[in-house]
Amino acid sequence: MSDPSGAQTILPPEGPRPENGSPAKGRHMAATPGSTQQGVEKRPKQARAGKADTSKVLAVPKGRTGAARILLGRDAVMIYVLLVVVIYASIVIPRFASPVTVGFLLLDVIPTLLIALPMTLVIISGEIDLSVASIAGLTSALMGVLWQGGMNIGLVLVICVLAGLAAGAFNGVLIAYLGLPSLAVTIGTLALFRGLALVVIGDNAVANFPPGLTAFFTSKIGGTGIPTVMVGVVVLIIAFAVVLHFTPFGRGLFALGYSKEAATFVGIDVARSKFLLYLATGTVSALAGIYWTLRYSSARSDNASGLELAVIAAVLLGGVSIFGGKGSIPGVLAGVLLIGTINYALKLDRVSEVVLIIVTGSLLIISVVAPNIASAIKQARHSRRVRTAPLP
């Protein structure tokens, strides 16, 4: 065993603390004078003798530099794949490369894109929400009935968003505060909310929404072909990306996705975090429901049905781990757009609906299997190296 080399001191002398090391400035320091002088002789630090440890003291980041890391990461690979598909489709499929394509592709993809944002956070935190499409359907039904009942359209929209919030809160209480498994709860609410939608609007369809509003939802920004509503969608994308990647809350989500226990020990309120996520999925699902209704100018109980699986498929394709702890908003964006682009291109090419589903399914399986194969290869290489290394 290595010897505990003499009276080596571990902490450096107490001097000016580095800027970032002392976040809690001005707190009462209870040291008595003189006590700070103890154990401060500084000795040159060396790696311990006799330890087969080639790694360095944590100081210099080794390996890939920042740029390389971004350019070779999984998110980047997804974006390359997306670009390849877009370029290939532009060459091979006539009529694909036009502003019309951009417009319809985005209009088609917006509901998935919207719901994928909070879904990414939910799955990273180690949970799932299958009730999103039903919440969208329920808000759509509500919207139809309230509008037909003569309510002001502004008020109708507010009530619909609140309904989504309430539906999310219902999921959230059951999952976060009562600790029920999210898979079971949201399978239940998937049926429940869809059933409520049917109760609210029955077999009717409401179509006579204000023409100005429906026109706005399909309008484009100038000649670019980009739908006007994309502005709002982009704002939401940025908001979710910032929350996930640049806030304390987002840091907490990754931690609790891997280990709820370890997260609790650093003061992360696991229940509250999860509750907030379900509020977010509920609210954004309501927005998707509103969009769906106005885009197709039709409020029906079965609007957006089955969308939850498309959303989850896109999120997983975008590199989010179904076990939690791993994923990013840029990756998910690429995943959603990839599926959307392939579907649209195949539709333009007059490929039947059945083939579209098969393609989507295969893509998902490949995306889940590929990293596993890669890590299996890495693992095999690593264990071969360990086996051939001499024992310490």
Binding site for other proteins (CB under 8 A): 1-4, 7-12, 14, 18-24, 27-32, 34-36, 38-39, 45, 47-48, 51-53, 55-59, 61-63, 242, 246-248, 251-252, 254-255, 258-259, 261-267, 269, 325-326, 391-392
- Measured from the CB atom, is 247 or 352 closer to other proteins? 247
Which residues pair with residue 290 across a beta bridge?
A: none
CB of 277 to other proteins, least distance (A): 17
The half-sphere exposure of 208 on its side-chain side, counting CA atoms within 13 A, is: 7
CB-CB neighbours of 162 under 10 Å: 15
- Measured from the CB atom, is 21 or 222 closer to other proteins? 21
CB of 274 to other proteins, least distance (A): 16
Which residues pair with residue 220 across a beta bridge?
A: 227
CB of 280 to other proteins, least distance (A): 17
CB of 313 to other proteins, least distance (A): 24
Residue appearing with tokens 């000649």: 223
CA pair distance 202, 185, nearest whole angstrom: 25
Helix (H, G, I), strand (E, B) or coil at 189: helix
CA pair distance 68, 34, nearest whole angstrom: 49
CB of 390 to other proteins, least distance (A): 12
Q: Which tokens belong to 139?
A: 């808000």
- Measured from the CB atom, is 17 or 155 closer to other proteins? 17
CB of 20 to other proteins, least distance (A): 4
Give yes or no for a contact between 288 and 136, defined as CB atoms under 8 angstroms apart. yes
| Sequence-distant (≥ 6) Cβ neighbours of residue 126 within 8 angstroms | 256, 257, 258, 260, 323, 324, 325
- Measured from the CB atom, is 142 or 243 closer to other proteins? 243
- Measured from the CB atom, is 32 or 388 closer to other proteins? 32
- Measured from the CB atom, is 34 or 154 closer to other proteins? 34
| Cα separations in angstroms, 321 against 13, 126, 313, 315, 369 | 44, 9, 11, 9, 12
Give yes or no for a contact between 128 and 279, defined as CB atoms under 8 angstroms apart. no
